[in-house]
Amino acid sequence: MATTLRRRQDGPGINWWLTALLMVLALTIAVPLYFAVVTALKTTDQLGGTGFGLPTDIRWANFADAWRLTDFPRTALNSAVITVGAVVLTLLTNSMVAYAIARNMHRRLFKILYYYFVSALFVPFPIIMLPVAKETAILHLDNRVGLVLLYVVYGLAFNIFIFTAYINSIPQALEEAAVIDGASTWQVFWRVIFPLMAPMNATVGILTCLWAWNDFLLPLVILSDPGSATLPLVQYVFQSQFQTNYPAAFASYLMAMAPLLIVYVFAQRWVISGVTRGAVK
Amino acid sequence: MKPGVRLANAFYVMVLPAFLLFFIFHTIPVIQGIYYSFTDSPGYGPANFVGLRNYIALFTDPRVLHAYWFTFLIAAVATVLVNIVSLAIAVGLNGRIKFKNGLRGIYFIPNVLAILVVGYIFNYLFSNSVPALATKIGIDSLSTSLLTKASTAWIAIVILAVWQSAAFNIIIYIAGLQTVPTEMYEASNLDGASAWRQFRSITFPMIAGFFTINMVLSLKGFLQIFDHIVALTGGGPGTDTESVALLIYKGGFQGGEYGYQSANSVIFFIVIVGFSIVQLRVLQRREVEV
């Protein structure tokens, strides 16, 4: 991939027309974000018109309002705990399950297990949302712990799919060498395989992170205590309660989007290559 | 590896917890959903077995039929548009351009944002900014909000869906385009092939597999559309912009139609699996032909 890129870039002539066209089209991404920023800085009486004008009188207090109204520290912490929990547990468990399945595909039991997990790719969430909401309530898992658990379980189908494909490309000779040196299956997994899976772990970690942080439907149907609401969920609640205070609402949108956006700006190439790797497998 | 007894034990321990959790939180709900679909359960208290009554009622319920029609409309239009838009942009981003990585970075941004939150921003744009802008430059048809009429609200929903979903599809198409060997272009350049001809005869056939994946995933994703609609119209006016997922949610949790919407879920599941299989078959056959 890197060589093709370099060759193309070094090739004769940069297509400036194409560059300009793509930059203009990129405005479709930039404009809504610009709009969110300027609106978040206005006073309510500066709203109206097309709303694209810069604020004449910047009102930073919108952020303070949004902070207070959405109980931001707590909400952001909920989102962070759920996201981190989902990512860490997914990486530790899904990779292990995939390893056990990938190395035992010749056994019927593991083969069945593989298709059992992967078949969940065809079951869209709306189909199980009613019973799952009921079940988590009965089991007292209608909270952050339950949500983490569900992200780990529902990610399994896709993650097993890409993890096993990756594990199959790792030569078994490495494991055999470790076994001869006296390593147990667990040691082989944690010391040899898990570190070798780093690129796929990055991919799965990124995708799980984006999913858990931005998801709205699962928290909506699972969480019963308003105190454990996540960022997207609280925007939904906020929307009906503070209909008229648009600047504060927009400040809160920005605050909800900011953490992941900031991480993305710094880890951009890494994120994109991670997602690409997931796609090519 | 030698399948010794101790070895196998460790492997069983590795998969057992996942199997149990998966069974409890995925398989049991599926089975329960099927069970409830044959009852008149309102979601609480006792329920009676009603046989196929829910299923029969579904096919004559105008609200349900409308939700399916509306969901198909959105999913079909958005799937086609997303794939055209993202393939075009991906080809551009794969060309000889300046700021290649920066531009790729920008085009991926929508994928790191929550649809619901972006949807609220678009909601304000559609209901306030666009009408104000249209009035200013004198386009009467856009001077009222797209979102207040069922006949136009779907357009706004499609725009948001395409805006958000193109980001991911672009990256997958770029990954596909990078698998095309540059030598093929060099050879066809010598033969004097036009850019469009190159795209049709080299690029597109070479990335047909990626096209299939994106079409299937897009359609499957858009058939489940939920967040977009909650943020833009909430299903309104009335129930005019309700998607199937939104209807299951509303009827099941708030409308006392737990059993009835469970039956709807089962039908919905069959529809989605059916669509995915047909689409895969058709697209893969085309892949072989070209």
Task: Please indicate, yes or no, whether residues A25 and A108 belong to a single structural domain of this protein.
Answer: no
* Residue A3 clears pLDDT 50, i.e. is over it: no
- pLDDT band, very low/low/confident/very high, at A10 (cuts 50, 70, 90): very low
CA-to-CA separations, B64 to A249, B61, B240, in angstroms, rounded: 33, 5, 11
- pLDDT average, residue stretch A137-155: 95
Residue A82 lies in a domain: yes
pLDDT at residue number B168: 94
The parent domain of residue B110 ranges over 62-289
Residue A6 lies in a domain: no
Task: Please indicate, yes or no, whether residues A83 and A124 belong to a single structural domain of this protein.
Answer: yes
Cα B248 from Cα B85, distance rounded (Å)? 31
Chain centroid to CA A128:
21
Which residues of chain B fall below pLDDT 50? 1-6
Task: Please indicate, yes or no, whether residues A44 and A171 belong to a single structural domain of this protein.
Answer: no
Task: Please indicate, yes or no, whether residues A40 and A137 belong to a single structural domain of this protein.
Answer: no
In degrees, to the nearest 5, what angle opens at C-alpha A206 toward C-alphas A157 and B79?
A: 65
pLDDT at residue number B289: 60
Question: Tens of pLDDT along A129-141?
Answer: 999 999 999 999 9
Cα A66 from Cα A220, distance rounded (Å)? 20
Residue B187 lies in a domain: yes
Residue B278 lies in a domain: yes
**B-interface mutation test, from A3, A14, A22, most B Cβ less than 10 A away:** A22
Residue B262 lies in a domain: yes
Task: Please indicate, yes or no, whether residues A152 and A46 belong to a single structural domain of this protein.
Answer: no
Residue A5 lies in a domain: no
Question: Tens of pLDDT along A174-222?
Answer: 888 998 988 888 999 999 999 999 999 999 999 999 999 999 999 999 9
Share above pLDDT 70 across residues of chain A, in percent, rounded to a whole number: 94
Residue B148 lies in a domain: yes
The secondary structure of chain B in percent helix, strand, coil, rounded to multiples of 5, reads 80, 0, 20
Burial B68-98 (b: 16+ CB within 10 A, else e): bebbbebbebbbebbbebbbebbbbbbbbbe
pLDDT at residue number A5: 47
Task: Please indicate, yes or no, whether residues A91 and A167 belong to a single structural domain of this protein.
Answer: yes
pLDDT at residue number A43: 85
Chain B's closest residue to A38, CA to CA, is B121
How many beta-carbon pairs below 8 A join chains A and B?
268
Domain end call among A40, A59, A78: A59
Domains held by chain B: number: 1
CA-to-CA separations, A172 to A94, A107, A108, A192, B2, in angstroms, rounded: 20, 17, 20, 11, 11
Residue B96 lies in a domain: yes
Cα A63 from Cα A39, distance rounded (Å)? 11
Residue B18: list chain A partners with CB under 8 A. Answer: 93-94, 97, 117, 153, 156
Domains held by chain A: number: 2
CA-to-CA separations, B135 to A50, A273, B125, B141, B290, in angstroms, rounded: 10, 44, 14, 9, 49
Residues 258-277 (B) with a CB less than 8 A from some CB of A:
258, 261-262, 265-266, 268-269, 272-273, 276
In this complex, do A126 and B226 lie within 8 Å of one another by their Cβ atoms?
yes
Residue A8 lies in a domain: no
Phi-psi region of B43 (alpha: psi -120 to 50; beta: other; left: phi over 0): left
Question: Tens of pLDDT along A66-124?
Answer: 899 889 999 999 999 999 999 999 999 999 999 999 999 989 999 999 999 999 988 88
**B-interface mutation test, from A127, A145, A207, A230, most B Cβ less than 10 A away:** A127
Q: Please enumerate in sequence order all residues whose Cβ is within 8 A of that of A207, keeping only pairs 6 or more positions apart, or say none.
A: A158, A274, A275, A278
Q: Are the CB atoms for B266 and A127 separated by under 8 Å?
A: yes
pLDDT at residue number A281: 60
Residue A21 lies in a domain: yes
Task: Please indicate, yes or no, whether residues A30 and A98 belong to a single structural domain of this protein.
Answer: no
CATH code assigned at B279: 1.10.3720.10
Residue B28 lies in a domain: no
Q: Are the CB atoms for A160 and A118 separated by under 8 Å?
A: yes
The parent domain of residue A123 ranges over 64-278
In degrees, to the nearest 5, what angle opens at C-alpha A194 toward C-alphas A189 and A198?
A: 165
Nearest by CB: A103 against B1, B115, B120:
B1
Cα B199 from Cα B202, distance rounded (Å)? 6
Residue B153 lies in a domain: yes
* Residue A30 clears pLDDT 70, i.e. is over it: yes
Task: Please indicate, yes or no, whether residues A258 and A186 belong to a single structural domain of this protein.
Answer: yes
Residue B29 lies in a domain: no
Higher pLDDT, A243 or B19: B19
| CA-based torsion, A100, A105, A109, A114: positive or negative | positive
Domain end call among A59, A77, A96: A59
The 8 Å CB, 24+ separation contacts for B277-285 are: B279/B215, B279/B216, B279/B219, B280/B212, B280/B216, B283/B208, B283/B211, B283/B212, B283/B215, B283/B216, B284/B212
Q: Are the CB atoms for A192 and A63 separated by under 8 Å?
A: no
Q: What is the DSSP string of B100-132?
A: HHHHHHHHHGGGGS-HHHHHHHHHHIIIIIHHH
Task: Please indicate, yes or no, whether residues A116 and A232 belong to a single structural domain of this protein.
Answer: yes
Residue carrying the six token digits 């969920």: A233
In this complex, do B1 and A97 lie within 8 Å of one another by their Cβ atoms?
no
In this complex, do A26 and B248 lie within 8 Å of one another by their Cβ atoms?
no
Task: Please indicate, yes or no, whether residues A140 and A246 belong to a single structural domain of this protein.
Answer: yes
Residue A199 lies in a domain: yes
pLDDT at residue number B255: 87
Task: Please indicate, yes or no, whether residues A40 and A109 belong to a single structural domain of this protein.
Answer: no
Residue A3 lies in a domain: no
Q: pTM (2 decimals)?
A: 0.91
Task: Please indicate, yes or no, whether residues A164 and A183 belong to a single structural domain of this protein.
Answer: yes
Residue A7 lies in a domain: no
Residues 40-99 (B) with a CB less than 8 A from some CB of A:
43, 89, 92-99
- pLDDT band, very low/low/confident/very high, at A242 (cuts 50, 70, 90): low
Domain end call among A6, A25, A59: A59
pLDDT at residue number A50: 80
In this complex, do A132 and B29 lie within 8 Å of one another by their Cβ atoms?
yes
- pLDDT average, residue stretch A255-267: 93
Nearest by CB: B26 against A4, A5, A120:
A120
B136 interface with A at CB cutoff 8 Å:
yes
